[in-house]
């Protein structure tokens, strides 16, 4: 009822301002503005205002409330779980602000974790088990502290090409990304020389 009275008062004030006032006149044929339906903007904890648009010239007017606008809360009791608190949720219907009035008798239960997947370790990373709570969806990773073995490529990689001036070198590299470990390091004969054949 208070807001309806304030809206009618705003319309009357706009009509008084528009009539014969050159500072509010945007067009010669708009001698008295005709405000359309107002749009109210709540400013909780501050002064709200109503916005009007003249139906003739399109000019916009705002008329502020006489007093601050309080929050208009609705309440809902929400059930807690292992992730969220339990209590009464207060939400303002005007601006959306909300806060939870906690239930002091509620104690959050522990998570109910279930195994989702296991990722085996390699030579650089530990094995990891991924758990997910069946109630709230929170996840947790647990590492087993065990490194895996190197996995070496079947093919050799030429590390140092052989030239006519010096011998080269080749080896089998670990296939794990970021690992520089090598095995079966073999010399490549210098170009232009015969391989050594023992008698």
In a domain, 33, yes or no: yes
Is residue 183 located within the same domain as residue 161? yes
Residue-wise pLDDT for 166-183, tens only, equals: 999 999 999 998 899 999
Helix (H) or strand (E) holding 96: none
- pLDDT category at 87 given cuts 50, 70, 90 is very high
Query: What distance in Å separates the CA atoms of residue 67 and residue 5, rounded to the nearest whole number?
Result: 13
Per the CB < 8 A criterion, the answer to whether 165 and 110 are in contact is no
pLDDT(89) > 60: yes
Classified as helix, coil or strand, 159 is strand
Distance CA 50, CA 43 (A): 11
**Pair 78, 45 in one domain:** no
Q: Do 6 and 64 belong together in one domain?
A: yes
Question: Are both 138 and 165 inside the same structural domain?
Answer: no
Q: How many whole angstroms separate alpha carbon 31 and alpha carbon 26?
A: 9
The answer to whether residues 93 and 59 belong to one domain is no
Give a yes or no: residue 199 inside a domain: no
Indicate whether 195 belongs to any domain. no
pTM of this structure: 0.47
Residue 84 in any domain: the answer is: yes
CA 169 – CA 7 distance, rounded (Å): 90
Could you tell me the residue range of the domain that residue 130 belongs to?
Answer: 113-147
Same domain, 136 and 167: no
126 within some domain = yes
* pLDDT at 12 > cutoff 60: no
- What pLDDT score was predicted for residue 10? 57
Q: Are residues 51 and 64 in the same domain?
A: yes
The verdict on 9 and 24 lying in the same domain is: yes
Q: Based on the structure, what is the number of domains in the chain?
A: 4
Q: Are 14 and 61 in contact (CB under 8 A)?
A: yes
Residue 2 pLDDT greater than 60, yes or no: no
Give the model confidence (pLDDT) of 186-195 as tens digits: 999 988 765 5
Domain-terminating residue out of 15, 48, 68: 68
Query: Is 59 found in the same domain as 27?
Result: yes
Q: What pLDDT band is residue 62 in, cutting at 50, 70 and 90?
A: confident
Determine, yes or no, domain membership for 198: no
Per the DSSP assignment, residues forming a β-bridge with 54 are 35
- Spatial CA neighbour of 190 closest among 169, 166, 170: 166
Question: Which residues have a Cβ under 8 Å from the Cβ of 6 and sit 6 or more positions away?
Answer: 50, 65, 66
One domain, residues 26 and 79: no
Q: Could you tell me if residue 28 is inside a domain?
A: yes
Whether residue 138 has pLDDT greater than 90: yes
Q: Are residues 15 and 64 in the same domain?
A: yes
Residue 152 lies in a domain: no
Q: What is the mean pLDDT of the chain?
A: 83
137 and 92 inside one domain: no
């Amino acid at each position: 009822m208070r807001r309806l009275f304030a809206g009618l008062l705003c319309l009357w004030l706009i009509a008084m301002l528009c009539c014969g006032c050159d500072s509010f006149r945007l067009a010669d044929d708009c001698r008295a503005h005709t405000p359309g339906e107002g749009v109210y903007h709540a400013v909780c904890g501050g002064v709200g205002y109503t916005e009007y648009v003249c139906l003739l010239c399109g000019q916009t007017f705002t008329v502020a409330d006489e007093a601050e606008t309080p929050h208009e809360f609705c309440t809902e009791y929400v059930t807690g779980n292992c992730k969220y608190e339990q209590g009464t949720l207060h939400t303002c219907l005007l601006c959306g602000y909300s806060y939870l009035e906690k239930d002091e008798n509620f104690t959050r239960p522990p998570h109910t974790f279930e195994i989702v997947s296991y990722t085996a370790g390699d030579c650089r990373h530990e094995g990891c088990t991924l758990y997910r709570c069946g109630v709230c969806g929170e996840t947790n990773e647990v590492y087993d502290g065990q490194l895996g073995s190197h996995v070496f490529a079947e093919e050799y990689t030429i590390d140092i090409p052989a030239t006519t001036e010096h011998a080269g070198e080749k080896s089998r590299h670990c296939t794990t990304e970021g690992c520089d470990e090598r095995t079966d390091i073999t010399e490549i004969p210098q170009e232009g020389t015969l391989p050594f054949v023992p008698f």
